[in-house]
Structure 1
Amino acid sequence: MKIYLVGGAVRDELLGIAVKDRDWVVVGATPDEMVAKGYKQVGADFPVFLHPETREEYALARTERKQGHGYHGFTVYSAPDVTLEQDLKRRDLTINAMAQAEDGSLVDPFGGRKDLESRKLRHVSDAFSEDPLRILRTARFAARFQHLGFRVADETMALMQQMVTDGELGHLVPERVWQEIQRALNEVTPVTFFEVLKETGALAILVPELAENEDTFGNAMTALEATAKQGLSTECRFAALFYPLSPAQVRDRTAALKAPNDCRDLARLVVELAPFAGEHSLSAERVLELFNHADAWRRPERFGLLLETLACLPGGLMPDTRDRLERAMEQARAVDARSLIAEGFKGKALGEAIGRERLRVIGLALV
Structure 2
Amino acid sequence: MTIRTRLIGTMALLSFLMIFIGVAGILALNDTNAVLKNVNENSMVSMKSIMDAQIQIDRARLSIDRVALQPDAPNAADTLVRAEGFLAASDKAWARYAALPFDDGEQAMAKGVDAARQALVKDGIHAAIKALRDKNQPEIDRLMLSEVTRLFRLYTDSAEKLSSYQLESATRQYNASQAAYHRNMAFSIGAIVAGLVVALISTVLLLRAVMTPLTQALGHFNAIADGKLTNAIDVNRKDEMGALMTGLARMQDSLADTVRSVRSGSDAIATASGEIAAGNLDLSRRTEQQAANLEETASSLEELTSTVRQNSDNARQANGLVSSASQVAVKGGEIVSRVVDTMASISASSDKIADIIGVIDSIAFQTNILA
One fold, TM greater than 0.5?
no
Larger Rg, first or second structure (1 or 2) = 2
By percentage of residues, which structure has more strand? Answer: 1
Query: RCO greater where, 1 or 2, for CA within 8 Å and sep 6 or more?
Result: 2
By percentage of residues, which structure has more helix? Answer: 2
Which TM-score band (shorter chain)? under 0.3
Q: TM-score, normalised by structure 2?
A: 0.17
